[in-house]
Amino acid sequence: MLLSAEIFADANSEYIDAKFVIFGAPFDETSCFRSGSKRAPSEIRKASYNFETYNAQYDVDLCDVPFFDLGDIKRSVSVDEMLKNIRNSVCEIVNDGKIPIMMGGEHSLTYPCIQAFDCISIVVLDAHLDLRDEYEGYKHSHACVSRRIIEEIGDINYVSIGIRSGAKEEYDFASKRDILFYTVSRIQAEGISNVMHDVVEYLNTDRIYLSIDVDVIDPAYAPGVGNPEPFGMIPADVKYVIQLLAPYTIGFDLVEISPDYDHGQTALLGAKLIREFIAAKGSS
């Protein structure tokens, strides 16, 4: 049993009644620059108490949306074992007809979440392509997660947004395979609403998993991340992505917050974006 301060604010439902099941995945073993994302779930939970339960935009009170905090997934130092623990938990949540919400942890943890679904498409928000085949000896490094996901679900079921960094080989791979990604410059030129309508049309599905690597947001707003990258998205555009995709979203995660490099604002933004998703989906 979790103490009330240790659960995400307003997660008042029992598991059996919950529409959403939120959990922490405290793991950062493959992090290469600023590790510490294993501490993010507890910081995001603490930050979640800052906000009103009522969301005026959706006219919904989070106290009235049934969601449950499962606590943290059992931590392992082995990447493979951690991925397995997450896959097992998410499979159970999905089989019980509920929507999983993961608080990472590093981005590699999105892969086992995806494996829990049949016929899923994914929208990844990330500064980085994450298309390396291998990084620092790991196939399941955070820097390879989009590559692993594409292998699992197919090129045409994948879109990434907010991209502004990658190795030449990653850009070559994306171009050879016709992987659809939107740069921040393109979002600025075309507007987030045009971009997102194109994305919805391209994927043409009502089964979307939304993964937010918080480094997609400009480091001025979100400095506490594993690999900060300038010239990023603004938080309001990320909120819009959540809103527009909510009707189709059946799984969600928010990863890569690194509390040691934060003054609290990144954890607050992360907690708020999760609450926006619950409000948007909970009212749809």
Q: Which residues bind Mn ion (CB under 5 A)?
A: 107, 126-128, 130, 213, 215
Residue 208 CB, shortest distance to Mn ion, in Å, is 18
Residue 143 CB, shortest distance to Mn ion, in Å, is 7
Residue 152 CB, shortest distance to Mn ion, in Å, is 16
Q: Which helix (H) or strand (E) holds 214?
A: none
CB nearer Mn ion, residue 62 or residue 143:
143
Residue 256 CB, shortest distance to Mn ion, in Å, is 6
CB nearer Mn ion, residue 38 or residue 107:
107
C-alpha distances in Å from residue 201, one per residue of 33, 115, 147, 248, 250: 36, 24, 23, 12, 17
**Residues paired with 68 in a beta bridge:** 21
CB nearer Mn ion, residue 43 or residue 126:
126
Residue 225 CB, shortest distance to Mn ion, in Å, is 7
CB nearer Mn ion, residue 149 or residue 199:
149
What is the Cβ-side half-sphere exposure of residue 134, based on CA atoms within 13 angstroms? 4
CB nearer Mn ion, residue 18 or residue 217:
217
DSSP string across 107-168 = GGGHHHHHHTSSS-EEEEE-SB----S-BTTBTT-GGGHHHHHHHHH-GGGEEEEEE-B--H
Question: In whole angstroms, what is the distance from residue 146 CA to residue 84 CA?
Answer: 18
